Structure 1
Amino acid sequence: MTTALPADLEGVLLDVDDTLVDTRGAFAASVEAVWRTYLPHVPADRVPEMVALWRGDPHGYYRAYTRGELAFDEQRRLRADELHRTFGGPPVDEATYPAWLEVFWGTFERSWHAHDDARATVDALRAAGLEVGAVTNAARAMQDRKLAASGLADVPVLVTVENFGVGKPDPRVFQEGARLLGTDPARTLYVGDELDVDAIGAVRAGLVGVWLDRPGTRRGDGHLEDPAAADEAGVVVVPSLTRLAESVTQAAVR
C-alpha cells in the first residue's frame, strides 16, 4: 500500500460483489452449470475460459446497464448469447433466455457466500467507531438478499443503480452514499474491487478511494488494473479486507 489512509476517518462504504461477497465464485458455479446443460461439447479444461469471458464482459454490456443504456435482463441475455457464440453453443434469444436463466441464476443464488475476511472486517470497522454501509451498481432487492444469504444482513445497502438511473462511477452515487451514511465524503472510504469504477470513481467524487486488489482475481479484458495508475490517482491499494481493517486501525492511532 503506497497511499496512506487519513487518521480522521468517519465511515466506510463497501462495494458488494467481489468485495464483501464472493460473486466470482458464484459466477464460476453458474457458468459450470450452463456448460453442463448447454455446452457439454466444450472440454472441461476450458471452463475457466468461460468464467473469464463472463467476468471480463469484453463488450461492456454490464457497464452499459450501469449507464442506463440497457435493462438488467437484456445485458445478461446479451452476455449469455456471447458466451454461447464464443464456445459454439445455441443462440440465447428472447425465446430461449428464460430456460437459460433458470439454470444460470438458480445456481448463482444458491452459491452466494461472503469472502472469508468480510464478516470480521465489518465488525472491526465498527469496533473502530466507523459507520459502515454498502453502495452497489446492482438492484437493491437482489443485494439485500445476497448480503443476507452471506451472513451480512446488518450491512445496509444505501445506494444502488436505481437511485439515479445510473451507477458508479457517477460521482452522485458515492456522494449520496456518504450523505446517507452521515459522514463527510473526504473522511469516508469507498472500497471496491474495480480500480476505475470503484476506487478512482470515489476519488473523483471527493471520497478516499480504496482498490481491493485480491491476488488472482483480476478480470483482464481491458479493465484498468494497474497499480501505478492507482498510485497516480491517489488510490489506496489493499490485497484483502483484513489488510484494510489493519490499516484503518493503524491510521486511527497515529
Structure 2
Amino acid sequence: MDNATSALNPIHGARSVARVEGVLFDIDDTLVDLNAAAVKGFHFLTSEDFKDVPGGLREHAARDYADDGAGAYERYMAGELTFLGQRAERIRRAYGLVGLDAPPAEALGVWSARYEDVVQGMWAPFPDVHDCLDALDALSIPYGAVSNNVEDYQRRKLELSGLGRIEVLVGSDTAGAPKPDPRPFHAGCRLLGTARGATLYVGDNPVNDVQGAIDAGLQGILLDRAPDHKTRSTEILQNLGSLAAIITGNPGFLAH
C-alpha cells in the first residue's frame, strides 16, 4: 500500500456495522466539499469590500459565513426563512464581524446571484469519493444521496461536481421534510430497493445524519473529516477510504 492510498484509509474507533445491502450519503461536506467552495466564493465576492480588512479577520468572516455561524440554514429548513433570506442573514453577520455595513437589502439578491454563479464553478468532490463509489460498484452495493436541500439544486450540484453517477437522490422538498425526520431516509431506502435495517447512512452531522438515520431504522456512521464534533459515538470515519472494508469485514457480509 503506497502512502497516497494509506492516507485515505484511517478510521477513528469505527467498529464493524451489521450487514449492509445499500448505502446512502449526505451530500454537503460529505461528498462535495461545500465548505471550501463557500470560503473561496465568499472571498471572491468580498474582495473589494474587504480590501482594507486584515487577512486573519477576513478569513474568520469567510469561515463563519461558510459554517453558518448565524444558524440561518436550520431556520430555512424549519420554514422560518426563505433560501435568499438565510443567505442574507449570513452575509449581514459576516460583514458585521469585520465592522462593515452589509450591502443594502435591495442589493443582497444581486450579491447572492453573483455568489451562486461563482461558487457553482468551485464545487468539487472530496478526493476519496470516487474511490469509495468504485469500491461499492465492485461489490454491487447500490448507493444514493439524501440531502437537506432542494432536490433539483442538489442534482445540479452532483452533476457539476462530477458525481452524476449518483442516480438515487432525495431532497427535503421531495421527501416532504428535512432530516432528521424519518421520511427522507425511508424514501432513500425505497429508491435503492433495500431494507432499512440493511441500509447504511453516512453523513457529517451527528444529529441530522447519524441519529436521524438510526431513529429511522437505518444504520448510521459519522464522517468527521475535521474531527471537531463532540460526540460519544463509536461510529466515526475520518474519510470514506475505509467504508468498503468496514462493510466487507463484517461476518454477515455476503458477496453478490
Match of 2:51 in 1: 40
Moved more, 244-253 or 19-28: 244-253
Match of 1:152 in 2: 163
RMSD: 2.0
Partner deviation per Cα, 1:134-192 (whole Å, 9 max, x = no partner): 11111222211211122210102421121244311111111121122111111111111
Question: Matches of 2:104 and 2:145 in 1, distance apart?
Answer: 34
- Contact 1:124–1:245 (CA under 8 A) maintained in structure 2: yes
Matched, 1:213 2:224: yes
Q: Which runs of 5+ in 1 are unaligned?
A: 219-224
Distance apart, 1:73 and its partner CA: 1.4
Match of 1:23 in 2: 34
- Contact 1:178–1:184 (CA under 8 A) maintained in structure 2: yes
Matches within 5 A, 1:213-232: 213-215=224-226, 218=228, 225-228=229-232, 230-231=233-234
Match of 2:147 in 1: 136
Question: Matches of 1:97 and 1:157 in 2, distance apart?
Answer: 34
1:125 is aligned, of 130, 136, 141, to 136
Equivalences, count: 242
The AA in structure 2 aligned to 1:170 is D
Matched, 1:101 2:112: yes
Match of 2:66 in 1: 55
Question: Matches of 1:46 and 1:226 in 2, distance apart?
Answer: 26
Moved more, 164-173 or 79-88: 164-173
Question: Matches of 1:152 and 1:54 in 2, distance apart?
Answer: 25
SS of the residue 1:210 aligns to: strand
Q: Which runs of 5+ in 2 are unaligned?
A: 1-11
* Greater helix proportion: 1
Question: Matches of 2:169 and 2:177 in 1, distance apart?
Answer: 14
SS of the residue 2:164 aligns to: coil
Matched, 1:13 2:24: yes
The AA in structure 1 aligned to 2:240 is L
- Contact 1:81–1:93 (CA under 8 A) maintained in structure 2: no
Partner deviation per Cα, 1:10-45 (whole Å, 9 max, x = no partner): 100011111111111101111111330322221122
